[in-house]
Amino acid sequence: MNAFTYPADVDTDSAGTAGVSERPLLDVSGVTLQYKTRRHLVTATYRVDFQVFQAERYVLLGPSGCGKSSLLKAVGGFLAPVEGAIRLNGRTVTGPGPDRMMVFQEFDQLPPWKTVKQNVMFPLLASGKASRREAEEKALDCIARVNLSKFADVHPHMLSGGMKQRVAIARAMAMEPDILLMDEPFAALDALTRRKMQEELLQLWDDLRFTVLFVTHSIEEALVVGSRILVLSPHPGQVKAELNCDGYDHFAVGNPAFQDTAQRIHTMLFADEVETVKGLPS
């Protein structure tokens, strides 16, 4: 474990685009994330590299403690890397901004004092991206896309969990961000609603072709929702593998190919666990 040494060279820009002609939308290079608790300095991820291209559904997958949420927060600009850099469209991310909209796991992400429509309009107005009339038009359109038109004038406390998450997705989509950041958005939902939401998200993606960075700890969800998966190992998070998984949907779950990939990822994560357990006593 050499987690606490940082070489001086932070510039890892040249690693970027080899093999792919297009420039990556999001370029995460050599990112080490740390956060302080009262007693400890915890390293969440260690030198993580990955790139996300336009219209990809990029999934960060790993067990708890692999720093996947921290990575997403770093891309969101809420956490500054101690080493490495995060670039969006070539510009280094320095703080939170409306070009990267977050969808959180928690239901309390919607300001309760605003109706569904006002909630979707809020970021448009706060960022000065649209006039009141444009914002309203856009909000109603996005609310219709997530099938909540009937509830446009309702306050969030009247909605179910799944509906609240839909509002959060509509709110993020209305901003037309460069990249949509989703932090286990369906993890707090019941299994039936979760599946429905996954299908709806894929349908939306099919219509709009946005770019999404999606965090999950469920292998099945990663395979269904994602087009490419970054597998992370825990304590601290490091890149274990990057896999393609485009073309799997809910109907593919039983397929041998799907099961093979799921098994492969499971082995990766599981093998790692055995290693750390073996490593402990020494």
Partner 1 sequence: MTGLSLAPQGRRVPPVRPEYERTVATTGPIGDVARPLSLWERIGNITALRRFAVLAAVALLWQIAATWQNNPLMFPTFTATITALWEAIWRENLLSMAWVSLSVLLKGYAIAVVLAVVLTSFAVSTRIGNDVLSTLTSMFNPLPAIALLPIAMLWFGLGAVSLTFVLVHAVLWPLALNTHAGFTSVSETLRMAGRNYGLTGIRYVVTMLIPAAFPAILTGLKVGWAFAWRTLIAAELVFGVSSGKGGLGWFIFQNRNELYIDKVFAGLVTVILIGLVVENVVFRWIETHTVRKWGMVR
Q: Which is nearer to partner 1, 113 or 251 (CB)?
A: 113
Distance CA 234, CA 258 (A): 24
Member of 16, 63, 65, 98 binding partner 1 (CB under 8 A): 98
**Among residues 106, 141, 199, 200, the one that binds partner 1 under rule CB under 8 A:** 106
Residue type, 52: V
Which of 113, 133, 278, 279 is close enough to bind partner 1 by CB under 8 A? 113
Which of residues 155, 195, 217, 235 is near partner 1 by CB under 8 A? 155
Both tokens of 196, joined, read 């429905």
Q: Is 153 in the site for partner 1 (CB under 8 A)?
A: no
Q: Does residue 16 touch partner 1 according to CB under 8 A? A: no
Please choose, out of 32-40, 81-89, 111-119, 210-218, the segment that lies near partner 1 by the rule CB under 8 A.
111-119
C-beta closer to partner 1: residue 157 or 278: 157
Q: Tell me: does residue 157 bind partner 1 (CB under 8 A).
A: yes
Q: Is 90 in the site for partner 1 (CB under 8 A)?
A: no
Sort residue 209 into left (φ over 0), alpha (ψ -120 to 50) or beta. Answer: left
Task: Give me 273's structure tokens.
Answer: 């666990």
Question: DSSP assignment of 64-77, as one string?
Answer: TTSSHHHHHHHHHT
Q: Does 132 bind partner 1 (CB under 8 A)?
A: no
Q: Residue 147 and residue 162: Cα distance in Å, rounded?
A: 12
Q: What is the nearest approach in angstroms of partner 1 to the Cβ of residue 100?
A: 8
- Tally the C-alpha atoms within 13 A of residue 72's C-alpha that lie toward its C-beta: 27
* Helix (H) or strand (E) segment spanning residue 25: none
Helix 116-126 and helix 132-145: axis angle, to 10°?
Answer: 130
Considering only 11-19, 101-109, 143-151, 216-224, which stretch makes contact with partner 1 by CB under 8 A?
101-109
Whichever of 100 and 240 has its CB closer to partner 1, that residue is 100
Supply the minimum distance, in Å, between the C-beta of residue 113 and partner 1.
Answer: 5
Quick one: which of 13, 15, 78, 267 contacts partner 1 (CB under 8 A)? 78
The binder of partner 1 chosen from 28, 66, 86, 102 (CB under 8 A): 102
Kindly state the tokens that stand for 159. 């909605």
Q: Residue from 75, 101, 179, 215 that binds partner 1 (CB under 8 A)?
A: 101
Kindly state the smallest distance separating residue 67's Cβ from partner 1, in Å. 17
Q: Give the closest residue to 103 by CA, choosing from 210, 236, 220.
A: 210
Whichever of 65 and 98 has its CB closer to partner 1, that residue is 98
Residue 57 has which token pair?
Answer: 């559904």
Q: Which residue has the tokens 């597998």?
A: 231
Let me know: does 68 contact 232? Beta carbons within 8 Å. Answer: yes
- In the DSSP assignment, the letter for residue 158 is G
CA distance 168 to 161: 11
Which residues lie near partner 1 (CB under 8 A)?
A: 73, 76, 78, 95-98, 100-102, 104, 106, 108-113, 122-123, 126-127, 155-158
